[in-house]
Amino acid sequence: MTSPEGAGPAVPPGPDGTARAAAPEPEGAAPGMPPRPADATRTVDAKPEETARAGTARPGDATRAETPKPQETAGAGPPLLDVTDLAVRFGPVRAVDGVSLRLAAGPFGLGLVGESGSGKSTIGRAVVRLVAMAGGQIRFEGKDVAALRGSALKRYRRAAQIVFQDPDNSLDPRMRIGASVTEPLIAHRIVTRRLAAGRARELLAEVGLDPELVSRYPHQLSGGQRQRIAIARALSVQPRLLVLDEPTSAIDVKAQARILRLIADLRAGRNLAYLLITHNLGIVSELCEQTAVLYLGRVVESGPTTELLSVPAHPYTQALRSAVPEVDMAARRSRLILPGEPPDAARPPPGCVFHPRCPLAIGRCATEVPALREVRPGRQVACHRAEEVLAGVKTGARTSSG
């Protein structure tokens, strides 16, 4: 339990070993994305279908990809990523249990927040096909990700990249930085080995590092620098979607601030869309338009980040929000202390999974699973008493005044 949070799902790998097989060999194994039109000249395998996204959609794509959905709040176009009713199981554990998410084309940030065992990292891994789905559908630019095979899958692996919490586990200690950064480029035959060295220097410069670091080894760099390298490598293949799994949890606070600035810059400069997985509400507040709050593998609330954080509609969001330590004295509030521990995902409680700890639970909550429903435009909540929470009902929970 060296880093319970970052290790993602607090569930053991299933008997089939899927999680374990996926985890140790992260980035090098899953590089890939088709080039953006501007980069086509530099690449050797620009595929015709990539132009679909540029607006000249093929007939087959148009119907399913552009079906408008009600609460599209950012980006009028079709979603880049559309996750419907996703389920992931590790043996008896329902790590992800019916999650739906939509991510607009970049620049756009969707935050996934929740605590250990909430399933947030598993969702990120399922999106880049590092863990197998037990149900539901993931569509990327209208295409069913689970059905991709062969070269289509390879193209998807370029289009959707993941950056992990701990760069030490995603960089080979025996490879020089330059080789690590360009490994995906060579694997995908985007540039030749001869040109790769120059490209590595450009990528390092883009993430704010001295290009001379290409000849160093990972141990000669600080944690923050290594995380930049991991980001540079993910960016090397020009992804359109980045899954950032707790990208700053393993590094210190000043380096964290610099990485967050880097993400903000890249988002603008590269038109990036990202799924930002974190337990830190301050980070989603700075970088994500939309946020989904997860509890025990389910979305309990989602909506525009600022609104969701300022007026939570779910008691769990409220508790999570109030638990965040604040530097500014003025911003502090009395604290809701949740009783007990999150339940075991292998034996979730009946009714609302949050009810055993919920300060507002009533009889109905123990028997009836609350559906995710729209309580305000663009805001979805799974709580029988969401209207009362929004209206500011007193919870009667144990509080402390910090």
Partner 1 sequence: MRLSITNLQVSFGERRVVDLAELAVGEAEIVGLAGDSGSGKSVTTLAVLGLAHTVGATVSGSIRLDGAELTGLSHREMREVRGRRIAAIFQSPALAFSPVYRVGSIVHRALRLHGMTRAEAAEAAERAMRQVLLPPGLLDRYPSQLSGGQLQRVAIALALALHAEVLLADEPTSALDVTVQAEVLELLRELRDRERMSVLFISHDLAVVAELCDRVAIMQHGSIVEQGPTSQVITAPASPYTAELLASVPRLAAGAGQ
Query: Please, which of residues 119-178 interact with partner 1 by CB under 8 A?
Result: none
* Among 280, 302, 317, 380, contact with partner 1 (rule: CB under 8 A): 280
Nearer residue to partner 1 within complex by CB, 149 or 254: 254
| Contacts of residue 108, Cβ cutoff 8 Å, sequence gap at least 6 | 74, 75, 80, 273, 274, 289, 290
The nearest distance, CB 305 to partner 1, in angstroms, is 7
Does residue number 319 form part of the binding site for partner 1 (CB under 8 A)? yes
User: Alpha-carbon distance 362 to 374, whole Å?
Assistant: 21
Q: Is 1 in the site for partner 1 (CB under 8 A)?
A: yes
Give, in order, the Cα–Cα distances in Å from 222 to each of 210, 231, 293, 313: 13, 14, 32, 40
The minimum distance between CB 19 and partner 1, in angstroms, equals 17
Residue 376 binding partner 1, by CB under 8 A: no
Residue 295, class by beta-carbon neighbours within 10 Å (0-12 exposed, 13-18 middle, 19+ buried)?
Answer: buried
- C-alpha 281: how far from its chain's center? 14
Which residue, 118 or 170, is less far from partner 1 as judged by CB? 118
Candidates 165-173, 194-202, 208-216, 322-330: pick the segment binding partner 1 (CB under 8 A).
Answer: 322-330
**Residue 370 CB, nearest approach to partner 1 (Å):** 20
Which one-letter DSSP state was computed for residue 7?
A: T
Instruction: Tell me: cis bond preceding 349? Omega within 30 of 0 counts.
Output: no
Q: Which of 21, 40, 153, 337 binds partner 1 (CB under 8 A)?
A: 337
220 binds partner 1 (CB under 8 A): no
Check binding of 328 to partner 1 (CB under 8 A).
yes
Tokens 């639970």 belong to which residue? 361
Please report which helix (H) or strand (E) contains residue 299, including its range: strand 298-304
Choose the binding region for partner 1 from 68-76, 95-103, 235-243, 302-310 (rule: CB under 8 A).
302-310
Q: Which tokens go with 205?
A: 């410069």
Q: Using the rule CB under 8 A, is 257 a contact of partner 1?
A: yes
Binding string to partner 1 for residues 82 to 121, with x set by CB under 8 A, is what? ---------------------------------xx-----
Supply the minimum distance, in Å, between the C-beta of residue 38 and partner 1.
32
d(C-alpha 265, C-alpha 287), whole Å: 11
- Please report, for residues 156, 321, 329, 332, the alpha-carbon distance to residue 324 in angstroms, rounded to integers and kept in the order given: 37, 6, 13, 9
Burial of residue 115, with CB atoms counted within 10 A of its CB: 0-12 exposed, 13-18 middle, 19 or more buried: middle
Could you tell me the maximum CA-CA distance found in the chain, to the nearest angstrom?
68
Give least dist CB 303 to partner 1, A. 13
* Residue 387 near partner 1 by CB under 8 A: no
- Is 253 one of the binding residues for partner 1 (CB under 8 A)? yes
**Under the criterion CB under 8 A, does residue 283 sit at the interface with partner 1?**
yes
Q: Give Cα separations from 42 to 36, 100, 185, 284 (angstroms).
A: 10, 36, 11, 34
306 forms part of the interface with partner 1 (CB under 8 A) = yes
Residue 95 structure tokens: 């790590």
Contact 131, 122 (CB under 8 A): yes
Q: Which of 332, 343, 346, 369 binds partner 1 (CB under 8 A)?
A: 332
Tell me which of 309, 365, 375, 383 binds partner 1, using CB under 8 A: 309
Number of helices followed by number of strands (H, E) in the chain: 12, 14
Smaller CB separation from partner 1, 147 or 337: 337
Judged by CB under 8 A, which of 24, 173, 392, 396 binds partner 1?
A: 392
Name the site residues for partner 1 (rule: CB under 8 A).
1-5, 115-116, 223, 251-254, 256-257, 260, 279-283, 285-286, 305-306, 309-311, 319-329, 331-333, 335, 337-338, 341, 392, 400, 402
